[in-house]
Structure 1
Amino acid sequence: MKIGVLQLNPVVGDIEGNCAAIRQGVAEARSLGADLCLTPEMAVTGYPPRDLLLYGGFVARARGAADALARELEDDAPGGTPLLLGGVEPNPCNLGKPVFNAAFWCEGGAVRRVFRKTLLPTYDVFDEARYFEPAPTGDQAGNILRFKGRTIAVTICEDAWNDKDYWETRSYARDPLEEAAVHGPDLILNLSASPLFLGKQRLREDMLGAVARKYGVPLVYANQTGGNDDLIFDGRSCAFGPDGALTGRAPGFTPGVAMFDIDAPKPDAIAPDDFGREAETWRALVMGTRDYVRKSCFSTALIGLSGGIDSAVTAAVAAEALGAENVTCVLMPSPYSSRGSVDDSLALAANLGVTTLTLPIAPIMNAYALALAGPFAGLAEDTTEENIQSRIRGNLLMALSNKRGAMLLTTGNKSELAVGYCTIYGDMSGGFAVVSDMDKTGVFALARWYNAHVRPAIPEAIITKPPSAELRPDQKDQDSLPPYDVLDAILALHIERHQSARQIIGAGFDPQTVDRVLRLVRSAEFKRRQAAPGIKLTPRSFGTGWRMPLACRREI
């Protein structure tokens, strides 16, 4: 049996456009000899639609689109390839949530069967219990499809992630695959919208292979690709034999149709992939930036170029994602900007082929100083004056963004955002934060990888010079922060591994440094709440899945 997996890059909310892409994908799979087609989870609406699901009219349109698509596919090719389609279904009962996360079996011009998702994740970025009613209990045949003499278990994303023999702990009382096992399935299909964190595909393949091996049947997994807000979907749809061995994998970070023949005697459709941390990071940043800008109806971008590593990497990503001709880098030197930083910025821009614009800010700084001379009389200069410089730059960039209709990309990294080493309404201004889930150490590593594997465009001086905001004479980041290797290690333990100060100190870190870093993390919460969305790369980012209170007294 040949299964055509439609690895789609949907636009959330664009029901008509998404259905057109599905229709085109089915036609391609049919031409390649597919016996059935499979889409990712919620392909009709795109994932995640979030609070769009609270609007009954939106849900009704999405459900109607499934019926219309089934008719159109039959018109295209009477008696053609059936489709298992991810979408949403209104709950006809007045009990529970009003919507089901569903899969529709489209055959012969109509939706013949509806399968409902059982397990609704509520961890990290997921909040499905807010919207969906789970598949009802007691209907063990609800996720069984019989097609061409085969018994097929239909699962939706999380439904295949709760195997008690794979995980040390089990997250749900139910296991849809255990329920399906009583029917003796010959095949497991899984419709997914599984967002990326670095290294996740290795986990997926290990876990799904273990599930296929446990039940002794082939398993085919369809995953969405593309960027939607802060989430990256890396695709990499795949198939496994009854022994759990990987038999097929679609390319990562790109849409397309993958053909998996579950009866083939040997693997023949495993796309090569690079699971290296920097390679995966680069592809995620490029795709995430391209999709966020374009799905937000922008075509050009602006970046404030400082001569530092963060803005250099952001500019390299933007040039790759949008085309150098669509990127403008703005230099805004102050009296404290070094000649080297300006020269390095111009060299980087020339190497990337992007346009530059130079706007010196000294006259504007003088105007602020004159306006505030009275209120500030007798007070020593401090971070207030430094923040004014950053806000001047932020205002200039936002003015250019407004006037030119270009997306302003912010350049701050996760280390800075964690401890508040950034200026609200200043360098935090903008529409999208490209490297905001990368610590400073990771940004440097990506720059070196980029020069070695993409093109040597980032000047060596940017990579080797000590980081500095250049907001006062001879300023260095390390004047205000611990060394980045120490800071990033502490932050990773606290943010991504949920460790307390006591646990981090127990791992050998200096108690005063740990206490200071965690205090900075707490005090910067209000800044993060107002930060631009960024690309999630780690298991816990400062995005949808970060839900800390603001006005609180917390000791962790």
Structure 2
Amino acid sequence: MKIAIAQLNYTIGDVDGNASKIIDSIHKAKAQHADLVIFAEQAVSGTPAFDLLRKTTFLELCEDALVEIASCCDGIAAIVGLPILTADGTISAAALIQDRKVLRYIGKKYITARREMGFLVPSKGYEYATIKGHKCAIIVGDDLSRERDFDQSVETVISINARKYGKGTMTYRYEMMRNLAFVESKNLVLVNQVGGSTDIVYDGTSGALNSRGELVLMMKNFEEDFQIFDTKASARPITIPSTYNDRTRLVYEAARCGLRDFFRKNGYRKASIGLSGGIDSAVVASIAADALGAENVRALLMPSPFSSLESVEDAKELARNLGIEYNVIPISEIYTSVVNTLKPVIGGTEFDATEENIQTRIRTVLLMALQNKTDYILLNSSNKSENALGLCTLYGDTAGAFSPTGDLYKSEMYDVARYINRTQGNPIPESILTKEPSSELHPGQKDSDILPPYEVVDAILFRMIEEGQHREEIVNAGFDSEVVEKIHGMIMRNEKKRYQFPPVLRLSSCTFGHERLMPLTNKYGD
């Protein structure tokens, strides 16, 4: 049997546009003499649709679109994902279409993602179907990782999915599929969505394994793709990319895809960013120029009384290398004016975080003025390390419409920066990569004044956040107990800041506010 795998980029709520893409792929599959064409979970609706899944009118639009899709399926079978309203609530279903008719719906049994809980209800799970004389098991979503012992007469397991990208998930996904295909001795075909949906990005990477558990087809990362898997043809096994460089490339491509689709699907064209001469804004500016085009990115360089001349020159060089428009707007006079205005309130006190935060908030005022006047949407250039520790200013450098890197640790920002230089002709000046990290908010400030090197900090943060280790476990692994306690205290004290972040593109397995959601009012300190 020839199975066409249509890996497409859908837009939440654009039922007509999604249906049009699906119909185009059906015609393409027929032209290539496929017996079956398969589409991702919730392809018609886009996902995550949240409370749209509670709207009867929305669900009816999805079913109406399915009727139109089915009318095109003459001479070919199709499996299409969409939400369906049942007596128990909305399910995530695979519609099986043959001879221009919707024969039945196969629903998802396990609702495991937080973004689906409360919006979808469980269904009965996978079912069998005979397509062109070929017996298949049709399964939806994460049920694939939980179901086993398919009927012996089944030749191929078909999984329609909407699995978001996360660092390292591709290797895990295909290892699970390899084990399943090998143990069950069946072909296994998976189709995934691709593209950004606000703070989620789907990596695509659909594929097929033969009954020996060998990966024989892998589709593109972060791009639409269309390929045919012939269950009877022999094919050479493919190796799953798993090196350090592969992982950094995938992180970069995920950030670029998520940023590009956030703008495209929301009707935005132009992005602004504050360039400081530091690593974070350099990485975000580079991603933005690649995703949106250099002509659509504009930077403001806003040196304060404490900014070094070297940082300003680094930021200028970066902007010139990227080919983006920039302006230098010193904020020294504004800063002095604000501090002087506040003298009746704070006069006579020591310089502290108050004066530091005034600088970052002034910069945000200017960047937001640029957005309001010219429609350049402000990008946030934070990183996960600083977000975790609270080394960020509310209504200052936490501002922005979207954060493409807020789920990447500081050390990962350097990895991505080196990847950018390696693949794009060294746009990021070497001095940005080699200088000691600093916010330059007071004379001689260095991040190392209060913290050990970020390699150490990030190793501790990863154990605490991604792996959920207790402080005692981390100390027993060889980390300094005072440092571990300090970092833990900083994380716990700064939940209030994370509650007010812009949308952060989810690139890890444990993103703040989603996989890790702590109560804002909380006295538990262990």
Q: TM-score, normalised by structure 2?
A: 0.96
Q: Counterpart of 1:186?
A: 155
- Contact in 2 for aligned 1:198/1:281 (Cα 8 Å): yes
Deviation at 1:336, TM superposition (A): 0.9
Please list, as runs of the form range in 1=range in 2, the aligned pairs for 1:403-482 lying within 5 A after superposition: 403-482=373-452
**Correspondence for 1:85 among 80, 87, 91:** 80
Q: Counterpart of 1:145?
A: 129
The whole-number CA distance in structure 1 between the counterparts of 2:130 and 2:121 is: 25
Tell whether 2:123 aligns with 1:135. Answer: yes
Gap regions ≥5 residues in structure 1: 163-174
**Correspondence for 1:120 among 76, 90, 111:** 111
Tell whether 2:270 aligns with 1:300. Answer: yes
Tell whether 2:286 aligns with 1:286. Answer: no
Task: Please tell me the residue identity of whatever aligns with 2:193.
Answer: Q
Deviation at 1:494, TM superposition (A): 0.1
Deviation at 1:107, TM superposition (A): 2.5
Task: Please tell me the residue identity of whatever aligns with 2:474.
Answer: I
Spell out, residue by residue over 1:68-111, the C-alpha distance to the aligned partner (whole angstroms, 9 max, x if none).
2212x14xxxx2322100001111x2xx4x11110111222221
The whole-number CA distance in structure 1 between the counterparts of 2:437 and 2:508 is: 23
**Correspondence for 2:503 among 517, 523, 533:** 533
The whole-number CA distance in structure 2 between the counterparts of 1:543 and 1:344 is: 34
The whole-number CA distance in structure 1 between the counterparts of 2:240 and 2:475 is: 44
Q: Counterpart of 1:401?
A: 371
Please list, as runs of the form range in 1=range in 2, the aligned pairs for 1:341-380 lying within 5 A after superposition: 341-380=311-350
Deviation at 1:271, TM superposition (A): 9.8
The whole-number CA distance in structure 2 between the counterparts of 1:439 and 1:232 is: 18
- Contact in 1 for aligned 2:48/2:116 (Cα 8 Å): no
The whole-number CA distance in structure 2 between the counterparts of 1:345 and 1:80 is: 59
- What is the DSSP-based 3-state SS (H/G/I as helix, E as strand, rest coil) of the residue aligned with 1:100? strand
Deviation at 1:311, TM superposition (A): 0.4
The whole-number CA distance in structure 2 between the counterparts of 1:509 and 1:340 is: 34
**Correspondence for 1:242 among 204, 207, 211:** 211
Q: Counterpart of 2:66?
A: 66
The whole-number CA distance in structure 2 between the counterparts of 1:30 and 1:392 is: 59
Q: Counterpart of 2:169?
A: 200
The RMSD of aligned alpha carbons is 1.7
- What is the DSSP-based 3-state SS (H/G/I as helix, E as strand, rest coil) of the residue aligned with 1:9? coil
**Correspondence for 2:232 among 253, 263, 276:** 263
Q: Counterpart of 2:33?
A: 33
- Contact in 1 for aligned 2:214/2:238 (Cα 8 Å): no
**C-alpha spacing 1:465/1:270, structure 2 compared with 1 (3 Å):** closer
- Contact in 2 for aligned 1:193/1:223 (Cα 8 Å): yes
Spell out, residue by residue over 1:186-228, the C-alpha distance to the aligned partner (whole angstroms, 9 max, x if none).
1110001111112211111111111111221111100111111
Task: Please tell me the residue identity of whatever aligns with 1:395.
Answer: V
Q: Counterpart of 1:19?
A: 19
Percentage of matched positions with identical amino acids: 37
Deviation at 1:183, TM superposition (A): 6.3
Deviation at 1:232, TM superposition (A): 1.5
Tell whether 2:520 aligns with 1:544. Answer: no
The whole-number CA distance in structure 2 between the counterparts of 1:145 and 1:136 is: 15
The whole-number CA distance in structure 1 between the counterparts of 2:251 and 2:360 is: 28
- Contact in 2 for aligned 1:331/1:359 (Cα 8 Å): yes
Q: Counterpart of 2:181?
A: 212
The whole-number CA distance in structure 2 between the counterparts of 1:413 and 1:131 is: 31
- What is the DSSP-based 3-state SS (H/G/I as helix, E as strand, rest coil) of the residue aligned with 1:488? helix
- Contact in 2 for aligned 1:286/1:320 (Cα 8 Å): yes
The whole-number CA distance in structure 1 between the counterparts of 2:84 and 2:400 is: 37
**C-alpha spacing 1:498/1:268, structure 2 compared with 1 (3 Å):** closer
